[in-house]
Chains A and B, each alone.
Chain A
Amino acid sequence: MKISKLHPIMQLATAATLALGLGVAAQAEEGAKLIVNGEIEMVTRTAAPAYIDGLDEIISGWEFRSTETQALQMDDFDNSGMLGVDSALEAWNKVQGPEQKSCATCHGDVESMKGVRTVMPKFNEEANDLWTLEDYINNCRTERQNVEAWGYTGGSMTNMAALIAVQSRGMPMNVAIDGPAAPFWEAGKELYYARTGVLELSCASCHEQSYGLHIRADHLSQGQINGFPAYRLKNAKLNGIHARFKGCVRDTKAETYKPGGPEFHALELYVASRGNGLTVEGPSVRN
């Protein structure tokens, strides 16, 4: 019984692969260019890195959205994600805790964070582990400011990640996958192609083999994370990378990995490396 129930799904999966050529044509307007505020030119399409077998071209999620949603990201006033950035800027300058330090006490102007987002996640020698932007933020909070860590996918954390991402807007993603990061990258790749849940879908099933096709009323993107944190119209707030991963895994009807856990750390590195060459867009606007 179970097997016969699975059957139509497998047929669907095959059909989806065959229809790929058609699907790509269903994207929003070809050749549309993402220029934010009339000055920051984004790379939304470029050649895939050599170590990615399943893609020839990498495409930003922005290209898969409707013209109206795309327009929201082209002007900071229309981009509601900037509300989160504004509130994080207040947090950046807020002196707090027993050490009486703000982020600015050590780091100065937030512009000093320029380029940081492009190399995240990266291997931290001292901790001997792979660290995401969120890990660095929380480390500053607990070790330097001596205040309580933020929840990994909480609002304050995601807003701060967006504030730091904004400093690197327009710079190409460039995460390192060699050296000490290599084992994490391999583990992430393994997860990317591992099927999960009742639906037995891997990340690749949707985002490598079927991007451009419809998923209900929406277009599947390549699942690139250069635009994160992303302001989603569906929940009217900024969403972090691991929160999105969790949503994706949940949609395969699986028990998800924990946001901030080792699985999603590895997956974040691998997925980020798939987008090496695309520009940092955070905070992007998606539906």
Chain B
Amino acid sequence: MASGVKPRVKVPKTAAAGETITIKTLISHKMESGQRKDSDGNLIPQSIINTFTCDFNGQNVISVELHGAISTNPYFQFEATVPESGDFTFTWNDDDGSTYTDTKSIAVS
């Protein structure tokens, strides 16, 4: 697991049924490119977030594939329409096999 990785998510706590809300996500991550060498001259293996997904009550909202040349601390902002109260689950997958998740609940009135 890469050091200093911490997912952050901003979702409104409440919304009206069918309302379009804005979701912001940010994960602190080095996004090691695989191009750099350490002080001994050995190549540092690539370790980037390769996929990001957001699900709402088990239904996929957004799924993103990431490749090289995406900078450190990847930030996503997107919109979602919420039909009912429930949980947003956010998942980031790292090249090194780690998975980082976060969950946010929203109450729909």
Which residues of A does B touch, CB under 8 Å? 77-78, 80, 83, 86-87, 236
Interface of B is mostly: strand
Q: Is B44's beta carbon under 8 Å from chain A?
A: no
Give the chain B neighbours of A86 by CB distance below 8 A. Answer: 6, 28
Give the chain A neighbours of B10 by CB distance below 8 A. Answer: 77
Interface of A is mostly: loop
Measured CA separation A74–B26 after assembly (Å): 16
Distance in Å: Cβ of B92 to nearest Cβ of chain A? 15
Measured CA separation A55–B28 after assembly (Å): 40
A83 touches B24 (CB 8 A): no
Chain B interface residue count: which class?
A: 10 to 19
- State which of B24, B26, B72 has its C-beta within 8 Å of the C-beta of A236: B72
Residue of B nearest to A233 (CB): B71
Q: Is B33's beta carbon under 8 Å from chain A?
A: no
Give the chain B neighbours of A236 by CB distance below 8 A. Answer: 71-73
Give the chain A neighbours of B4 by CB distance below 8 A. Answer: 87
Measured CA separation A87–B72 after assembly (Å): 16
A77 touches B24 (CB 8 A): yes
B26 touches A77 (CB 8 A): yes
Distance in Å: Cβ of B88 to nearest Cβ of chain A? 15
Measured CA separation A80–B31 after assembly (Å): 15
Residue of A nearest to B8 (CB): A77
Measured CA separation A218–B4 after assembly (Å): 32
> Contacts A87-B28, A236-B71 given; 5 further ones with Cβ under 8 A?
A77-B10, A77-B26, A78-B75, A80-B73, A236-B73
- State which of B6, B24, B71 has its C-beta within 8 Å of the C-beta of A78: B24
A83 touches B71 (CB 8 A): no
Residue of A nearest to B73 (CB): A80
The 0/1 profile, CB within 8 Å of A marked 1, for residues 1-16 of chain B is 0001010101000000
Measured CA separation A54–B75 after assembly (Å): 41
Measured CA separation A83–B73 after assembly (Å): 9
B26 touches A80 (CB 8 A): yes
Measured CA separation A49–B4 after assembly (Å): 42
